[in-house]
Structure 1
């Protein structure tokens, strides 16, 4: 079987990269092959090669291709070609694993390299020149059946790398149909292994899973089998995610991982979950904000106060309409403190307090133009000057 005109075959500079490595010395591997078979243009392109990393670097440099030694201990260098970076990795087999890291040895055995990968659909290789496919573990029929299946014994593969538990569910949410029973049983049996992983790695996999097409049933499956219980016991019900996903579809809003995580986590646990997963400062704030109150001023007033993204999150979580925010950019208050001073207010707290009252009325009236804002300013300045404590 061959790949006919895969998307990556047209990438500028790839032919020169393959030629520099030599005839038959490299193959496209993993996601780029899998996605091409599904008609998807993969973002990343990885090559496997029989050459040790130092020889790979020598050949590419001699061909005028800039190369960066991004992971020499694991045999990986990055070639910078016109169409973007390409990772080139020497064929490997595992010498030792501890569930988090692997010690590898280089080889020239293509099947041995394929055998150390996680799932059959990720162990497909293609000749970059001819498109000829190489499949030692049944990845092609698994891909046709939309089945995510471990290579070899699922329990052994999970012991090698505990992150494969989450990857099993993420790939099933993206590509799967009927779940592989042996893989599911192994993941459930080894769920406690997730506690040995860094929370950053857990977060990265979970956030990718939450925006996959099959996220809702897969999260429900994970909850049913206790997969997340050791590391995220707060996620105990997939029903809120199902409701949110339906609202996103109805509103024409793209799924978002932080928004979906927010609906899965109880509001009073959002801060602790964000800290445990070591989310970025921005994502921590957004996760906490999503579960906040709506207020009484309407969607645009909310968006003005907390931002459009945050308002969409909060409205969808509360089951409210977001149509008023489509394509809307919050305006700026057309009156500043300097205008109030020009109209008679003394610099200081009175200016800030008066400006806040103007802004509140301006928001309540639906963000009127500068003329109306000026009228509001006149009225509030007059009121401030008329008060006994006013300037």
Structure 2
């Protein structure tokens, strides 16, 4: 990726969002008291779209609230104990966080103290590319640890000693690989060595945090290559041994099928590719996925026979597309993805009008009509009525015998 020269942040559409100028003024941006930080700065330098805007400020949290409210800006104390206030102006949402330094960490949580030292705040961040700041008023860049050079080199690099940074927050192991998959070209050797050495630390993390990182990783640009790297070094073994080299090759096949079929990637579908019918239930329960996500993966890994459109009708378009792509049938998946699932143009009342008594006979006959309608490729109402005539006639003959 091309990276802009590191003097100032280049103009970008997100900088003109309504209300952002009011937030900047309220925080004293003209005096250098507030800076954009993190993803918005990083992604702008890479020419990528920006969704979330984060701001760092020297003001303590209560002062941030006072300033915002004095300017008529909504201030939501979303994480005030940790220094974060959500500012909302004319529909624009900005996370404003007071500069912090770590006091203690235990691998999962950190106790912080507020500070007015910009470099101390930068030093507690995970990677150099995430510790880039830009003045809200002038857009002048502040790069304390060589983050711009690392962006230019496609290098994900820990700030400071990688082993220490992982000890502070074990999730940084997975974040290292996710950022490598999204932004990197080659792994930083010291960071990779530290992640390999501390892979067992992942066992201390909640499964929800692991699931969140995995699903994000699966959507990254180089997800397959990075997962090959991770399985080659047994990174997943302590928490998800099911993600082995064979699983990654199934994912590679799915990624290729998505691209060939012109179908947008999906993290749950990609997770299904890493699993199989024998382990999916256990893994999805362990990761504490939602019931809907677990059901979707089970459906994707099923083996019902039938034409693509019949699968689309029985499973729903999403379920059929998942299953067909996992089977490598991208032409059929593309056909189903563009298909509008029809509705059976007949009701149980129409069978009663043809002479069936209300009750289980109607439900049974309606299922027979639907099965024939599916088998014939979803014909129109005229043909469906003819099928219904035939089914009802057979049912009436059977009941008279």
TM tier relative to shorter chain:
over 0.9
Could you report, residue by residue, the CA deviation over 1:30-66 in whole angstroms, capped at 9, with x for unpaired residues? 0000000011121100000000000000000000000
| Counterpart-to-counterpart distance in 1, 2:102 and 2:313 | 54
Note the C-alpha offset of 1:84: 2.4
Question: Match of 1:387, SS?
Answer: helix
1:248 to 250, 253, 258: 258
Note the C-alpha offset of 1:8: 2.5
Q: How does 1:197-276 map to 2 (within 5 A)?
A: 197-237=205-245, 238-276=248-286
Question: In 2, are the aligned partners of 1:308 and 1:325 still within 8 Å (CA)?
Answer: yes
1:119 to 102, 127, 138: 127
Question: Match of 1:338, SS?
Answer: helix
Q: Tell me which residue corresponds to 1:312.
A: 321
Question: In 2, are the aligned partners of 1:7 and 1:36 still within 8 Å (CA)?
Answer: no
Q: Tell me which residue corresponds to 2:392.
A: 381
Q: How does 1:1-391 map to 2 (within 5 A)?
A: 1-22=7-28, 23-237=31-245, 238-295=248-305, 297-320=306-329, 321=331, 322-388=333-399
| TM-score (ref. length: structure 1) | 0.98
Question: In 2, are the aligned partners of 1:294 and 1:315 still within 8 Å (CA)?
Answer: no
Question: Match of 1:268, SS?
Answer: coil
| Counterpart-to-counterpart distance in 2, 1:164 and 1:29 | 19
Question: In 2, are the aligned partners of 1:28 and 1:46 still within 8 Å (CA)?
Answer: yes
| Counterpart-to-counterpart distance in 2, 1:360 and 1:232 | 41
Paired positions, count: 389
Gaps of 5+ in 2: 1-6
| Counterpart-to-counterpart distance in 1, 2:340 and 2:166 | 47
Q: Tell me which residue corresponds to 2:3.
A: none
Could you report, residue by residue, the CA deviation over 1:175-210 in whole angstroms, capped at 9, with x for unpaired residues? 000111111111111111111111111101100000
Question: Match of 2:72, SS?
Answer: coil
Gaps of 5+ in 1: none
| Counterpart-to-counterpart distance in 2, 1:40 and 1:217 | 21
Question: Match of 2:93, SS?
Answer: strand
Question: Match of 1:274, SS?
Answer: helix
Could you report, residue by residue, the CA deviation over 1:254-279 in whole angstroms, capped at 9, with x for unpaired residues? 11111111111122110111111111
**Structure 1 residues 129 and 383, CA gap change in structure 2 (3 angstroms):** same
| Counterpart-to-counterpart distance in 1, 2:174 and 2:260 | 29
Question: In 2, are the aligned partners of 1:234 and 1:266 still within 8 Å (CA)?
Answer: no
Note the C-alpha offset of 1:83: 4.0
CA RMSD of aligned residues (A): 1.0
Question: Match of 1:319, SS?
Answer: coil
Note the C-alpha offset of 1:389: 6.3
Runs of 4+ more than 4 Å apart: none
